[in-house]
Structure 1
């Protein structure tokens, strides 16, 4: 008969295996041929993006599918974002749009994109965040999938990291992908890179229909489905990358904080349950190895070798899975540190949910 310790070990193994099951659907954006070469409008909302915008504009110059136009919407920046966009107009068919002041009931990004679409002429609309870095074939693959699948097609970029603090974002990147279904007609959208036909965009109600939503991509996906249009999502897997929150640890904390509560509320409960079970095993492993070594409170077998095996299994799993999600070097091996960071930001998100807002890029952003 299995003892309580044995049952505990079995439950940890089951939760570890659940992690592999959750990661099985990390489907990269397929490469496909265009049905025809459409007129493509690329729309880029940009607020204080002088450090990142050039990477995107340089990437657009080398695309195998050249856009009809590139529209940079300067979301009332206080830096040199507009100057960088105007300088790039010598090398790209680029126009700079500066929208009217932000009206009540709108978020900055939705207002910017709404105004950008009104100034665009393409039959296909591609929305790219200013910090994205597309490989040369990105537009062709993204537009080809939109032609094949219809509706809204999006891609979550590969997370490129440089500085030490960026390794702390390990779990946010991974959980955000494991907690949702991916692939054709999955019903999920990622805001950094999206493509849609103008016809389907207008049928959905566009950004005007999600004007006050902080995580506008999730709610835009709902609008497409309500209009009877498919919503598909993939991972970038080196076709498109970005460096999230290069402005420092504070930006990283607030950036994840502002999306945490709203996004969590949109996850379907079976997926949420599976992710919580997997995370519970990960948290257990993160605590038990140091606890067994340092004599901290511990339930179950105190022998360090057992907990070292469990810890090593989760570290190996994180190393393998994250290769397709982002460039995380040391954090999978010492995942106890990203676990503590994840829990800290989660608690901060709960506090800010009660407060009702956080400050982001000089604006008060609602967390409700």
Structure 2
């Protein structure tokens, strides 16, 4: 087979891998809770005045009414605590951050210690649950046991937010989804208090920046199931409304740690798919502008390759977030993805990054 034919087959295999990696992305099943569960909703909040009111309003309209909603104010310098008090929920001021703890793990551990429910629900302040969400999440925890989590649908408003498409997609491609998969997503999690105490709570992952991954490990080590679903149709969020700088630092903060936790067969599949995407992102502009390239400089095959990946991105991101036009010019988010990756490597060498006024370890 001529070399160009081998290249074409290789790129076709990489493109097909994209469909395979997204074949199973189950949404949170629509179940009904058994009995009358006593639910404590715990929300860690540090300078979340822009997003917290929407979450508290949504919680007031849930079909399942929680026993309590506790906002743990993590030393906010904005109106977070005032807005939470105005909404009529419990506001718990966080104690000073001890050595060896991250802000979120410390806040949630304190919240649990002050709560009364038998079912614990952890929600990030920027999540946007639909009216049935809390009931569905609790019902799934009752059905599956252990730890159940949901990755929200990424709602975008400003053009810069579209640049995050590959981070959202790759994050889901790289892990198995469904019941008992051993993966957890931090924005929305539910567990029984008994299971939470059995694994040692957030104290067992006190120093972990990506605490959700390590909580999942703790549950698995205790012989408890860990299930993960996507929030398409039930839970959304708008990540980093504070601007492009916040988005870069936010993804940078999680990049290296999360990548190290992905199981290597899926990581290999994701890397192969990404290599095909990067190739397509380069080859069409190179053919049009006569840049150096490997492979055929002919316009038609490179246009077909580009169109194939653009179509694939349009289809497979529909359930991940509100990403549309950016998929048609995917070389732009490819460059953004690579730029954040380089920054993550540099910050990994430095050992820390500044996030919400705190130094966060990257090792």
Aligned equivalents of 1:319, 1:170: Cα separation in 2: 11
Specify the alignment match of 1:153 in structure 2: 148
Aligned equivalents of 1:216, 1:345: Cα separation in 2: 21
Aligned equivalents of 1:131, 1:11: Cα separation in 2: 41
Task: State yes or no: 1:251 paired with 2:246.
Answer: yes
Specify the alignment match of 2:26 in structure 1: 27
Specify the alignment match of 1:38 in structure 2: 37
Specify the alignment match of 1:5 in structure 2: 4
| Deviations 1:33-71, CA, capped at 9 Å, x for gaps | 212220000000000000000110011011000100000
State the Cα distance separating 1:238 from its structure 2 match.
Answer: 2.2
State the Cα distance separating 1:304 from its structure 2 match.
Answer: 1.1
State the Cα distance separating 1:329 from its structure 2 match.
Answer: 1.8
| Deviations 1:99-150, CA, capped at 9 Å, x for gaps | 2100110000000000000000000000000000000000011000000000
| TM-score normalised per structure 2 | 0.99
Task: State yes or no: 1:346 paired with 2:341.
Answer: yes
Specify the alignment match of 1:289 in structure 2: 284
| Deviations 1:322-344, CA, capped at 9 Å, x for gaps | 00000012111100000000000
Alignment RMSD (CA, Å)? 0.5
Q: Which runs of 5+ in 2 are unaligned?
A: none
Aligned equivalents of 1:99, 1:161: Cα separation in 2: 31
Q: 1:217 aligns with which of 212, 228, 238?
A: 212
Aligned equivalents of 1:361, 1:127: Cα separation in 2: 20
State the Cα distance separating 1:13 from its structure 2 match.
Answer: 0.6
Instruction: Report SS of the residue matched to 2:43.
Output: strand
Q: 1:129 aligns with which of 113, 121, 124?
A: 124
Task: State yes or no: 1:322 paired with 2:317.
Answer: yes
Aligned equivalents of 2:20, 2:316: Cα separation in 1: 11
Aligned equivalents of 2:54, 2:315: Cα separation in 1: 28
Aligned equivalents of 1:37, 1:298: Cα separation in 2: 64
How many residues are paired up? 363
Specify the alignment match of 1:366 in structure 2: 361
Instruction: Report SS of the residue matched to 1:139.
Output: helix
Runs of 4+ in 1 over 6 A off after TM superposition: none
Aligned equivalents of 1:205, 1:312: Cα separation in 2: 50
Aligned equivalents of 1:306, 1:205: Cα separation in 2: 56
- Alignment of structure 1 residues 271-286 onto 2, 5 Å: 271-286=266-281
Q: 2:179 aligns with which of 184, 204, 212?
A: 184
| TM-score normalised per structure 1 | 0.98
